[in-house]
Chains A and B, each alone.
Chain A
Amino acid sequence: MTASSLALSSGLLAAQSVVGSAAPATGAAALAWLLIAVPAASAAVLLLAGRAADPWGHWLGVLASAFSAGLGLVILTQLLGLPAADRVLGVPLWRWFGAGDLDVRLGLRLDPLSLTFVVLVTCVGFLIHLYSVAYMAHDRDRRRFFAYLNFFIAAMLTLVLGDSYIALFIGWEGVGLASYLLIGFWNTADADAPQAERFTSRENAAAAKKAFIMNRIGDVGLLLAMMACIAQVGSVAFDTVLPAAQEGGISAGWLTAIGFSLLLAACGKSAQFPLQAWLGDAMAGPTPVSALIHAATMVTAGVYLIVRSGAVFEGAPDAQLAVVVVGAITLVLGAVIGCAKDDMKKVLAASTMSQIGYMMLGAGLGPIGYAFAIFHLLTHGFFKAQLFLGAGSVMHAMSDQVNMRRFGGLRRAMKITWITMGIGWLAILGIPPFSGFWSKDRIIEAAFVGDGARPWILGTIALLGAGLTAFYMSRLFFMIFHGRPRWTTAKDIEGEVHPHESGWLMTLPLIVLSVFSLGLGGALTVGNAFVTWLEPVTGHATHGEPVLPATAIMLATLALVIVGIITAWTMYVRRDVPTVVQRANVLVEAARHDMYQDTINEAVAMRPGQGLVLAAGASDRYVVDGAVEGLAKGTAALGRLTARTESGYVRSYAGYMFGGAVLALIAVLAGRF
């Protein structure tokens, strides 16, 4: 299946992103701003109406997201009806501000890349809205939850539709805010709530802050990149910056600087090494949030940023290499952490991190990898959202427990969840013909393309990652649904549970998503459809020849995946799973503690930061305040001194005048000679 694309010439260095400017949009595309405006308005109504909107607020949220999904699909159809070369449309909105030569305009850019995201975000978003109606049914703040979800949809669409870095940045910050609000959604325990509840509430708030702060660190990168763009080309519009980057309007040094800044931004948003520590904690939010924001859409924004800025990275090979390295490190790191976690959602979070590592790896390979990175992003968005929603369904059945050591044998109690999650599991494993196979396999192949030792190193890492993925995802699947039931219907420390299948509002999205997980990858690979579709943005990628035959790579990947499944089977189905955590070797212990990333961050960033703050505080108190206060005291003392001379004696005043006149005379004379 991949042979057709691989047989093409290997002029991979000649391939470039396409950075042409946009044609004015007509028809439904001209209404693209409604995609953003409707969910934003719905969020505003839900937040302003307050408790009055409680009975119907969630349905308004669902409607708003359904509207965006519908309009997104209409625009997609319109774009598909155009010839490939004309599939870049622009919707100018308004002039935001100007200063001197700088003129910042806001507008939307509809092209295959942004439309891919629009469809992913709105379709997955709609299904998750629907699911949340049931999942959050017992929450007193369901309306507020839907307001935030709608706000997120609006912000995410701004991010992907914006036609300049500044418009992207507005959405970038918007999704960051939505993520913060939703991670800390359950931080409202009353003062008289039970001790444990208040503790969780505090933990949730801390997780939200952690995500917010680590994202801000990344945002500095985006800001720096924008400032560099303004300094170099006087604009942040994609239509100006990207052609300038491609045609040598920006020097290689500046391109490298911009590339590294953008990579920093992408690392923050996409939880890539070394800014990955927040994603695991972000699981404190409600599960639909994890599915929508922290798996399917927002965290992939970093990959979008890198692919969108392709022209910059093509002019900065060092920055491009850094993207690949970051992707490779995160892919292994996430996989290793995923292997050791017992918290179901944290395994999925580590898996997300690892899969985005694959996408970053693809995006860093240049034009040959862009389409595959976005393809994997799309298929991953669907099957990871599905896996998270499945996990949510399990939590719903198990009184919000997430400890997989207490699950087991749930396949009999929750048939639909079992089957749909099974499809998601096979999809992420990359078993043909499930969708993950079509996208991940391509990235692994692309990693094997190149000269020297590089393809061997990258390819091997990508290959091993696939095996690790198979192991930890099978471990998750088997520990939840197979083996001896380890939960209890009687009173127990972990609580009694009565597993049951969720209602149709929750199972319906699961079923719809599993259809996508099953067929999306294969359907979009027919005739190389997806890669061709992205060509107006990513350029015509001439696929180079891998250092190993493509079939060999595919077979090796599948072999490793099967080894992973069998290992997980023997460890977690053939053998009993202990319900308490066992002592393990150093590596497992490290992985259980997220490879000590919090400790490292604390030592590398937090302690020096606190020292800096302490020093700054001291210098403020003693040096700056001291100088200012000293000046004030000096002035007051001088005032007291001169007050003494105000004796009221006419003759002394006359004396001062005389003295002054003499001084003035001396000054005049001195000036003359």
Chain B
Amino acid sequence: MSVPVTAYVVLAGVLFTLGALTVLLRRNAIIELMGVELMLNAVNLVLVTFSRMYGDLTGQVFAFFAIVVAAAETVVGLSIVVSVFRTRRSTSVDDLNLLKN
């Protein structure tokens, strides 16, 4: 038996929502980065699903690129978080509002 496409899309929707809520609601920068990863992976899932469905590799290639970019982003993001923690002893994004107005 095969899992219907709807299930993948719903799962991806749930994952994306969880990721988005994490980014919007949590203060910890590291947790937020995880939320971003979650959203990216929800999108990857959709890409791969439709790629399978149409028998076309383009979606898989896109997903691959997204993974590479996400890895790079995590490296940059984490290093920023680490350097911020070193100066401010905090990883709360709400403390970082120097660019106000």
Contact of A649 among B20, B23, B25, B93 (CB under 8 A): B93
* Nearest neighbor of B99 in chain A, beta-carbon distance: A648
What 1/0 flags go to B12-31 for Cβ under 8 Å of A? 00000000100111010000
> A654: which B residues are within 8 A, CB to CB?
23-24
* Bound complex: CA A434 to CA B96 (Å): 107
User: Does any Cβ of B come within 8 Å of A503's Cβ?
Assistant: no
**Chain B contact patch, size range:** 10 to 19
> B27: which A residues are within 8 A, CB to CB?
651
Query: Which chain A residues (1-58) contact chain B, with CB distance < 8 Å?
Result: none
* Bound complex: CA A293 to CA B9 (Å): 96
* Bound complex: CA A648 to CA B96 (Å): 7
* Bound complex: CA A650 to CA B93 (Å): 7
User: Does any Cβ of B come within 8 Å of A582's Cβ?
Assistant: no
* Bound complex: CA A655 to CA B32 (Å): 13
* Nearest neighbor of A658 in chain B, beta-carbon distance: B20
* Nearest neighbor of B20 in chain A, beta-carbon distance: A658
> A650: which B residues are within 8 A, CB to CB?
32, 93, 96
Per CB-CB distance, the 9 closest pairs between chain A and chain B, nearest first, are: A648-B97, A648-B100, A650-B93, A646-B101, A648-B99, A654-B23, A655-B24, A649-B97, A651-B24
The answer to whether B20 touches A646, judged by C-beta atoms less than 8 angstroms apart, is no
* Bound complex: CA A647 to CA B94 (Å): 10
Report the minimum CB–CB distance from A488 to chain B (whole Å): 90
**Chain A contact patch, size range:** 10 to 19
- Interface residue ranges, B against A (CB under 8 Å): 20, 23-25, 27, 32, 93-94, 96-101
> A638: which B residues are within 8 A, CB to CB?
none
* Bound complex: CA A648 to CA B27 (Å): 14
> B24: which A residues are within 8 A, CB to CB?
651, 654-655, 658
- Interface residue ranges, A against B (CB under 8 Å): 643, 646-651, 654-655, 658
* Nearest neighbor of B97 in chain A, beta-carbon distance: A648
Report the minimum CB–CB distance from B71 to chain A (whole Å): 21
Report the minimum CB–CB distance from A85 to chain B (whole Å): 88
The answer to whether B101 touches A648, judged by C-beta atoms less than 8 angstroms apart, is yes
> B94: which A residues are within 8 A, CB to CB?
649, 651
Report the minimum CB–CB distance from A669 to chain B (whole Å): 15
Contact of B98 among A643, A648, A651 (CB under 8 A): A648
* Bound complex: CA A655 to CA B35 (Å): 14
* Nearest neighbor of A652 in chain B, beta-carbon distance: B24
* Bound complex: CA A280 to CA B97 (Å): 82
> A643: which B residues are within 8 A, CB to CB?
101
* Nearest neighbor of B27 in chain A, beta-carbon distance: A651
Q: A650-B96, A654-B24 are in contact. List 12 more A-B contacts (CB 8 A).
A: A647-B100, A648-B97, A648-B100, A650-B32, A651-B24, A651-B25, A651-B32, A651-B93, A651-B94, A655-B24, A658-B20, A658-B24
* Bound complex: CA A170 to CA B97 (Å): 71
Report the minimum CB–CB distance from A660 to chain B (whole Å): 13
* Bound complex: CA A646 to CA B99 (Å): 8
| Sample (12) of A-B pairs whose CB atoms are under 8 Å apart | A647-B97, A647-B100, A648-B96, A648-B100, A649-B94, A650-B93, A651-B23, A651-B27, A651-B32, A654-B24, A655-B24, A658-B20
* Bound complex: CA A369 to CA B9 (Å): 99
* Bound complex: CA A654 to CA B32 (Å): 11
> A647: which B residues are within 8 A, CB to CB?
97, 100
Report the minimum CB–CB distance from B29 to chain A (whole Å): 8
